[in-house]
Amino acid sequence: MIVQAIAASRRGHLASALSLVEILRVLYDEVLRFDPARPDWPERDRFVLSKGHGCLALYAILADKGFFPREELLRFCAPESILGGHPEQGKVPGVEASTGSLGHGLSIGLGFALSARFDRAGRRVFVVIGDGEANEGAIWEAALCAAKHRLSNLTVLMDYNKQQSYGATFEVLDLEPLADKWRAFGFGVAEVDGHDVAQLRRVLAHLPLEANRPGLIICHTVKGKGLDFAENNLAWHHKSRLSDDDVAACLNGLRGC
Query: pLDDT digits over 24-74, tens only?
Result: 999 999 999 999 999 999 999 999 999 999 999 999 999 999 999 999 999
User: Are the C-beta atoms of 137 and 104 separated by less than 8 Å?
Assistant: no
CA distance 107 to 175: 19
CATH number of the domain encompassing residue 236: 3.40.50.970
Q: Residue 26's domain spans which residues?
A: 2-255
Nearest to 240 by CA among 34, 77, 131: 77
153 or 251, higher pLDDT: 153
Q: CA dist 75 to 37, 192, 217, 244, Å?
A: 22, 34, 33, 18
CA distance 32 to 26: 9
Whether residue 180 has pLDDT greater than 70: yes
**Where in the chain does DSSP place strands (E)?**
11-12, 46-49, 125-130, 154-160, 163-164, 167-168, 188-193, 215-220, 239-240
Q: Is the pTM of this model over 0.85?
A: yes
CA distance 51 to 133: 7
Please give the tally of structural domains in the chain.
Answer: 1
CA distance 232 to 235: 9
pLDDT digits (tens, 9 = 90+) for 99-118: 988 999 999 999 999 999 99
